[in-house]
Amino acid sequence: MKSNTYSIIAVMALSMAAFTFSSCKKEGCMDETATNYDAEAKKDDGNCEYADPEPVIKFTISSPEEHSTFNLGETVHISATYETTEEVHGYSIKIINNSDNDDVVFSKEEHAHESPVHIHEEWVNNVTIHSDMTLEISITTDHDGGTETKSIGFHCMPM
């Protein structure tokens, strides 16, 4: 009988020791770059989570050139390109007359999901006084209204 008691006690002691050692190995995400990194984890549980990368947008305005001048009746060629690592939702173009209460003299919007996008538009200068102008192109990056905007300045003359 004594040997059965000792056997039962030995099995219980071994079970408690195994439980104690296994419970000390806390599981969790061990990757420091993960959003749910657990510094106390001793064993990786394979459930690391990562933030979505910010979209990268390459965006250039090639025409008109910064500080260029256009006479009355001349055509302003608008040329730009954007390329992105994520889906975008379109773009808008504005030409703003800064010398006349920021009056928008040209605007256009396009819904475009593809990448790259090449923008080609034209506007004929109909401004009859010397004016400082801004070309503003905004790319809509999400359906919540997020945008990335580039702008350049140019001049219009009444000559």
Q: Which H or E run contains 1?
A: none
* 75 vs 126: CA distance, rounded Å: 10
76: its two tokens = 């302003």
Average pLDDT of the chain to the nearest whole number: 86
Report pLDDT digits (tens) over 40-94: 999 999 999 988 777 678 889 999 999 999 999 999 999 999 888 777 888 999 9
Q: pTM value?
A: 0.65
Report how far residue 40's alpha carbon sits from residue 20's, in angstroms, rounded to the nearest whole number.
17
What residues are paired with 93 via a beta bridge? 108, 137
Pairing of strands 75-84, 57-63: antiparallel
